[in-house]
Amino acid sequence: MKDPRCTWCHSDPLYIQYHDNEWGVPTHDDKTLFEFLILEGAQAGLSWITILKRREGYRNAFHDFDVEKVARMKEQDIERLLQDTGIIRNRLKIKSAIKNANAFIKVQQEFASFSQYLWSFVDHQPIINHRQTMSEVPATTEVSDRMSKDMKKRGFSFVGSTICYAYMQSMGLVNDHLVSCPSFADCCERS
């Protein structure tokens, strides 16, 4: 029998848990939004399962995604993290996490929360697509282009349009579950 889940969700239990319980679920919690901003940036050029397998390592390395603590990380922290096998040991990505923490805090100060800022790109309502196949899912959209441009202007890095669209999908700003997937209706109900 064919698995009704989205075709990118393979048999790995981490993928299945993430697909069924997180991907596409509208998220407004700033801590979770910061976590996935870091994880999506780390994923650039890699598979998502590579990041999911290191999620605990990222949680440990980046102070349980406490944005204030990450923003205060210094060069000695970067050097320590470059030796940490629990994360992707890429200097640019580690520095980006710290840079993005500082930009994230500035956005929180300006908009009262990062969630308010982020969700403004979709008028505070998830975009619900009705995809039949994964080939219909774009890598970028006009909204992700606009988000990327604005985030870069605000000092964020590793926020190209493709990363922004993946971030929108993961945080539920857009529902790209296939209509045949049980999670499609579940995410619609949570909107």
Is residue 78 within 8 Å of residue 98, measured between CB atoms?
A: yes
Residue 113 phi, psi (nearest 5): -160, 155
Annotated active-site residue 119? The verdict is no
DSSP 8: T
Annotated active-site residue 48? The verdict is yes
Is residue 148 within 8 Å of residue 164, measured between CB atoms?
A: yes
Kindly name the residue from 15, 23, 35, 40 that is annotated as catalytic: 40
Kindly name the residue from 18, 58, 117, 167 that is annotated as catalytic: 18
What is the rounded distance in angstroms from the CA atom of residue 103 to the CA atom of residue 101?
A: 6
Compute the Cα dihedral for 186, 114, 14, 133 and give only its sign: positive
Annotated active-site residue 40? The verdict is yes
Compute the Cα dihedral for 45, 49, 64, 162 and give only its sign: positive
Is residue 154 within 8 Å of residue 106, measured between CB atoms?
A: yes
Catalytic positions are 18, 40, 48
